[in-house]
Structure 1
Amino acid sequence: MPNLASDARVRAARLDSHGLARGLPSVTAAVRRLGAVQAQDFAASKWVLGARVRGSVAADVDAAIESREVLRSWPMRGTLHLVPAESLRDILAITGPRILQKATTTHRELGLDAEVYAAARGIAERELVGGRSLSRDELQAAWQSAGISTAGQRGYHLIWWLAHDGVLCCGPVEGRGQRFVLLDEWSPRVAPARARDATLTALFVAYLTGHGPATVQDFSWWSGLTLTDARAALAEAGDQVVAFDDERFVVSDSEPSESTGASRATGRHVLAAFDEYYLGYRDRGPVCDPAHAPRVVPGGNGVFQPTLVQNGRVVGLWRKVERARATSVTLDGFDGTIDPAAFTPRLREWARFWGRELGEVTALH
């Protein structure tokens, strides 16, 4: 039997690695710390970062994007993420081919072949060149005008394909979303491309920096890469990582084990839907009783709910209700009623992040 650390010790160490225990200095620092932040829900991804950068506001995330320090695209698992600008191309180089290969059947069913893709790419490059940007509707209208149907999921998959090939990415923030731009114009490459092995290693170390302790299976799930790749990354990382127990690893420059013992797993956190603290692992058992997992992801539909964390453990969910003058919040505990007063200070931080006034905080019985 493997010698594994207690769940309490794992939770304590993860609160530190995620930047939740002590906070991080900036939005860009938070994205770099986590390696990547799932961002299919753009608003949720902003609070993933806000929860780690005390005193920040939503506009700080927009500013990090507008400054080109952080990019939003589809680098892993076929879904949107926020990533450090310097990492996107190298990640796409190792994940993109695998993701596109898995999409072959879908593309064939949609009638998207190499000829259609080439035509769509040419139009996108022509419309976006010179620093221009287009909304999704505008880009799809350009394709439609050229005789390329965007019916059903065709338009989305053409954008998705172009992003995986590193042609375009999300650019200027507009309302609740972003406009599309050419990646090479919005964020020109400033360093030579890494070799595949070097990228694998860098991504593994980045993952452990912001998620450790974690297993190679956790990394494989998070990155969408094979277990063979994950094991190769561990081997190549060498002394950059160290064992936390018989299955989990942390970066070698993380703090000594006594500072991440069970006594450090304290405090309360109000986390966003899709927050990496819960989402970013294949095995989420150490931070949430598996019996409650169906409530975090109802029906296993991939839509993660906002969570309440106490002493490192996911203890319930929360839901906002927008009012005219304030935003009210309802708490839903997994094991009995949650005291609203316990989470109200964190909820005030969340409301301030969005420039809202916090209204009534109630708990379901």
Structure 2
Amino acid sequence: MVSALDRSRVLALRMATQRLSSAPLATAADVVELLTCVQSQERDHAFYSLAMRSRRSTYAAVRREHDAGAFLRTHILRPTWHFVRPQDLRWILELTSPRVLAGMAGRHRQLGLDEPGLVDTVIGQTAELLRGRHYRTRAEIGTELTRLGSPVGPGERLGHLLLVAELRGVICSGPMQGPHHTYALVDEVVAPTPTRDRAEALVELARRFFTGHGPATVKDFTRWSSLTATDTRTALAELGDDLEQVEVEGQAHWYDPEAVPRRSPAAPTAYLFPTYDEVVLTYPTVGFPAAPDHPYAVRPDPFWAMVLSDGENVGLWKRTVAAGSVEVDVRLAPSLPRARRTSVRVAAQRLAAFLERDLAYAENKGTPPPWRG
């Protein structure tokens, strides 16, 4: 018999599973392993997502792990950036990239990249530029391709070709160069790993997702993985009793109850989540409830992210980093009591400590102005 859980219980389970309200994991790479792939198109915000779940409490500590290759930043699962452990890169790409790449034909035509052999030629030239661990930024690759007389130089077409090269498993991230992302050859920075057949890989990816993100639905997994609902149901049938099925507001969810740690008595009561944090982005079906007087932005804005207090979405925040300080601007529901406002300020202080900067805190009133960058 399938048991029922209410929304608050499901949200509490997710927070514990993702190590936000339970004991943190030792390293940032451990967090990436737990979540399998962590969306990271806003890299520095995503570094904070890893710190929130681990004992790597500063930006510098998380960056050291990244630059040492403990986890990679690359396009995987969907045509956007994710963190992934090196040992998981190849088999996940082999499983998920064919479907993603098949959907790019129209974009190739739009960018004038549909000439036979053009994509392969430029990706081959890029690989040669990186050979020998010559880590290069996108700008440096564009400059070198122009010098070589390549048909593709700096610009949007190059960015798209680098994405394709990542999805094919040719290139991935190298160590950061100042604030800039660099590229490396996968075969030079990722050790060989055993191959998996498609059925085995599908079951393993589903197991990892529902263990690290559960309770979650079929729709949650298909959004995250880019795989089909049919594939997902096949994997769930194969997993059988390894996962528990529960009903949440009429929706079937799956998770591994044995993988849920205990809530820590030291767990925060408020969080400033980055826009693309896995606990915010992953669940289009059942997410955090919003305060009735939530000060929503006029339109979706990636620079204003969720403020969570006692399991409730109570407002929006953004940060502006300067040399010695970080300004954190929050907009909170007017009904939020003083004690909960104080816990939000404490969450802002944690962010400042992560960045090793003084906090300039502003609790402004009203709806955030649209970003005009």
**TM-score, with length taken from structure 2:** 0.87
**Percent identity between the two aligned chains:** 29
1:197 and 2:199 aligned: yes
**2:144 alignment partner, SS class:** helix
**1:87 alignment partner, SS class:** helix
CA contact (8 A) 2:245 2:255 kept: yes
Partners of 1:264 and 1:10 lie apart in 2 by: 20
Q: In 2 relative to 1, CA 213–118 (structure 1 residues): closer, same or farther, beyond 3 Å? A: same
1:176 and 2:179 aligned: yes
Q: In 2 relative to 1, CA 359–199 (structure 1 residues): closer, same or farther, beyond 3 Å? A: same
Q: Report the alpha carbon displacement of residue 275 of structure 1 after superposing the two structures with TM.
A: 0.8
**What is the aligned partner in structure 1 of residue 371 from structure 2?**
none
Q: Report the alpha carbon displacement of residue 66 of structure 1 after superposing the two structures with TM.
A: 2.3
Q: Report the alpha carbon displacement of residue 156 of structure 1 after superposing the two structures with TM.
A: 0.8
1:360 and 2:361 aligned: yes
CA contact (8 A) 2:73 2:81 kept: yes
Partners of 2:107 and 2:295 lie apart in 1 by: 28
Q: Report the alpha carbon displacement of residue 305 of structure 1 after superposing the two structures with TM.
A: 3.5
Q: Report the alpha carbon displacement of residue 329 of structure 1 after superposing the two structures with TM.
A: 1.9
Please list every run of 5 or more consecutive structure 1 residues that lacks an aligned counterpart in the other structure: none
CA contact (8 A) 2:143 2:154 kept: no
Partners of 1:354 and 1:21 lie apart in 2 by: 21
CA contact (8 A) 1:36 1:82 kept: yes
Q: CA RMSD in A?
A: 2.7
**What is the aligned partner in structure 2 of residue 128 from structure 1?**
130
Partners of 2:296 and 2:37 lie apart in 1 by: 25
1:315 and 2:314 aligned: yes
**What is the aligned partner in structure 2 of residue 27 from structure 1?**
28
1:154 and 2:153 aligned: no
Amino acid at match of 2:111: L
CA contact (8 A) 1:208 1:249 kept: yes
Of residues 255, 263, 267, the one that matches 1:250 is 255
Q: In 2 relative to 1, CA 167–336 (structure 1 residues): closer, same or farther, beyond 3 Å? A: same
**TM-score, with length taken from structure 1:** 0.89
Q: 1:93-108 to 2 correspondence within 5 Å? A: 93-108=94-109
How many aligned positions are there? Answer: 356
Deviation per residue, 1:82-136 (Å, 9 max, x gap): 0111111111111111111111011022121341112112211211111111110
Partners of 1:151 and 1:321 lie apart in 2 by: 29
Partners of 1:50 and 1:335 lie apart in 2 by: 30
CA contact (8 A) 2:244 2:256 kept: yes
Partners of 1:55 and 1:121 lie apart in 2 by: 35
Partners of 1:291 and 1:233 lie apart in 2 by: 39
Higher relative contact order (CA 8 A, sep 6+): 1
**What is the aligned partner in structure 2 of residue 344 from structure 1?**
345
Q: Report the alpha carbon displacement of residue 81 of structure 1 after superposing the two structures with TM.
A: 0.2
Amino acid at match of 2:54: V
CA contact (8 A) 2:169 2:186 kept: yes
Partners of 2:217 and 2:26 lie apart in 1 by: 27
Partners of 1:200 and 1:304 lie apart in 2 by: 34
CA contact (8 A) 1:15 1:265 kept: no
Q: In 2 relative to 1, CA 104–299 (structure 1 residues): closer, same or farther, beyond 3 Å? A: farther
Partners of 1:169 and 1:294 lie apart in 2 by: 39
**Which range moves more in the overlay, 130-139 or 237-246?**
237-246
Deviation per residue, 1:125-153 (Å, 9 max, x gap): 21111111111011122222323133652
**What is the aligned partner in structure 2 of residue 40 from structure 1?**
41
Q: In 2 relative to 1, CA 290–91 (structure 1 residues): closer, same or farther, beyond 3 Å? A: farther
Partners of 1:338 and 1:110 lie apart in 2 by: 52
Q: In 2 relative to 1, CA 248–294 (structure 1 residues): closer, same or farther, beyond 3 Å? A: farther
Q: Report the alpha carbon displacement of residue 4 of structure 1 after superposing the two structures with TM.
A: 4.0
**What is the aligned partner in structure 1 of residue 63 from structure 2?**
62
